[in-house]
Amino acid sequence: MTNDVLIRKEGLAGRITLNRPDALNALSYEMVTEIEKALIAWRDDTSIRCVIIDGAGEKAFCAGGDIDEMYQAGIKGDYSFAEKFFTEEYRLNAMIARYPKPYLALIHGFVMGGGVGVSGHGSHRVVMSSAKIAMPECGIGLVPDVGSTHLLANARGYLGEYLGMTGYRMNAADAILAGFADAHIPDGAKGDLIEAICDTGDLSFVETFETEPEADTLSPLLEAIDLVFSRRDTAEIIEKLETMNDEWAVAALKSLNRNDPLSLECTLQLIRRARISNTIEDALAGEFGFTSRASEHGNFLEGTRAAIVDKDRKPKWKYGTLNDVPDQVIEKMLASA
C-alpha cells in the first residue's frame, strides 16, 4: 500500500486521506486502485457505517489526476497508460456514485479534475471556506471528465456549459449553487466533525457544524450565462460574447480564446448529451471516448507541455480556431471507445 493515500478504520468510519500535500494531493494510478480496493472491502463490512475522504495539508483536497506519467508515456508514443488510468479512475467514480453506504467528502483548498471525481459523486459533500473548485481541462486539451459532465449537466440553466468551458473557479457557495457540494462548514470545524462521525457513524452531525458560506459569485451572472451559453455551438457563444463589453463577458471570452478549440466544442456536446441521458455511467462513457484519444489524436500532450511541463502558457493547438476544427474530428473524438 502506498503512503500517498492513508486508508484505515477509525471507530465506525472507513477513513481515506489523500496524502501528497506537496503535490496538492494529485491522484496517481496507485492511489486510485488503493481507494477502490478499500471501498470494495468496506462495502460488506458491517463494522463500518460510512466512509470519510479528505486531503492532507492546507492547500488542497485534490488538485486533479497526476498526469505526469501519462504525459511521459505519451510523448514516447505509448498511449496505453492514459487509457488504463482513465479506465480505473472512471470505474472508481461510478462506484462512489452508487456506493451503498454514506460517503462523506470533506473538501478544502484547491479541487480540480480528479478531485471532483472522488468528492462530487458522494452522498454527502461538505465544502469548507477555503475551497476553490474548477474544471480547467479545456486548457490542457482535455474535457471535464471523472463524471463531471454529469454534474455540469445538472447545474441550473446553462451554468454547466459556462463552468466546463471556461474553467471558472468556484468558491464554497458557488459549489453549492452549482451542485458540486451540499453543505458548508468552517475549515476549523473539520476535526470535530470527523471525530463525531467516527464515534457515532451518524452523518446528521454535518448539520450541527453547518454554517452559511460567504456569498457566491455566480448568482449575479446566471441571466447573462443563460443568454450566452444556451447558444447552439461554441462559435455562436464566442460571437455573442464579442458583442458584450461588461467585465464578466470579457473574462469569459478571454478564457475561451485561451483554451483548446477542439476541447471546447467537445465539452459543449458532452454536457448536452449528459443532460439528455442523465446517468453517471453514460457521462463517463462519453468522456472516455475523448480522453482515451486525447494523447494520440487530440491536444493533451501539447496542452500539458505548455501549462505544466514548460509552463510557457503558449500551446500550439492542432486547430488554431474553431473554424479550423473539422466536424469529422469532433465526431471521431466523441465516438464510443
pLDDT in tens, 214-236: 999 999 999 999 999 999 999 99
Q: Using one digit for the tens of pLDDT, what is the confidence trace for 248-280?
A: 999 999 999 999 999 999 999 999 999 999 999
Examine the pLDDT at 135 and tell me if it is beyond 90. yes
Task: Enter the C-alpha cell of residue 208.
Answer: 450541527
What's the confidence (pLDDT) of residue 76?
Answer: 95
Task: Report the percentage of the chain scoring pLDDT > 90.
Answer: 96
pLDDT given for residue 226 in this prediction? 98
- pLDDT score for 69: 85
pLDDT exceeds cutoff 70 at 1: no
The rounded distance, in Å, linking the Cα atoms of 16 and 105 is: 10
Under 8 Å between Cβ of 128 and 184: yes
Band the pLDDT of 68: cuts 50, 70, 90. Answer: confident
Rg, the chain, Cα only: 19
Tell me the whole-structure pTM to 2 decimals: 0.96
For residue 144, is pLDDT > 90? Answer: yes
Residue-averaged pLDDT of the chain: 96
Give the pLDDT mean for 168-184.
Answer: 98
The order of strands in the sheet holding 183-185 is 5-10, 13-18, 50-55, 103-107, 124-128, 183-185
Q: How far apart are CA 280 and CA 150, in angstroms?
A: 6
Which string of b and e fits 223-261 if b means at least 16 CB within 10 Å?
A: ebbeebbebeebbebbebbeeeeeebbeebbebbeebbb
* Per-residue CA distances from 244 to 45, 127, 169, 224, 239 (Å): 57, 33, 21, 10, 9
pLDDT, tens digit (0-9, with 9 covering 90-100), for 83-134? 999 999 999 999 999 999 999 999 999 999 999 999 999 999 999 999 999 9
Catalytic residues: 65, 114, 137, 145
Tell me, what amino acid is at 119? Answer: S
Question: Would you call 195 exposed, middle or buried from its count of C-beta atoms within 10 A (0-12, 13-18, 19+)?
Answer: middle
